[in-house]
Amino acid sequence: MDDIFREPGTTGLEAITVRELRADDLEAIVRIDAGTVGRRRPEYYQRKLAEAMRESGIKISLAAETEGMFAGFLLGRLYYGEFGLPEPVAIVDSIGVHPELKGRHVGRALFEQLETNLKAIGIETIQTQVEWNHFELLGFLRTLDFRPVPTLSLQKKLG
């Protein structure tokens, strides 16, 4: 909904429900991801979803629904000093929004709920990685106040 047509006092997020991911969300996650990356990765998301279901306590893997449909997902995990990070940090591994619902605040609703959950347990930092030329995602993350950090990601190709 365009901001100009929104009722006064509303955010545009009211019609989006954010909840914990469930095992039966797998196919919807795979479909949304395939629309973005161009191929299906069911084994990858089956493993990621199983990890999210096993983790107890704070929920940082979330699903969004609107108008009776699965609208998007966010998968992540908490780290408490691993990889040389001196403070606890939440890492967002994957986010996906149904293509028909892009621009309708689904991703924002997922991140707002994530922030609420993290603040409740004293986690003050969220990090993620983005391909340098994924301008749409970079722009979205910028609207959420994500900024580059002074770390260096290294990679070695094998074979």
Pairing label, strands 126-128, 88-97: parallel
pLDDT in tens, 15-74: 899 999 999 999 999 999 999 889 999 999 999 999 888 875 667 899 999 988 999 999
pLDDT in tens, 40-55: 999 999 999 998 888 7
Give the domain ranges of the chain. 16-143
CATH 3.30.1360.120 fits 16-143, yes or no: no
SS3 content of the chain, % helix, strand, coil (to 5): 40, 20, 40
The reported pTM is 0.85
* Helix intervals (H) in 5-105: 26-37, 42-54
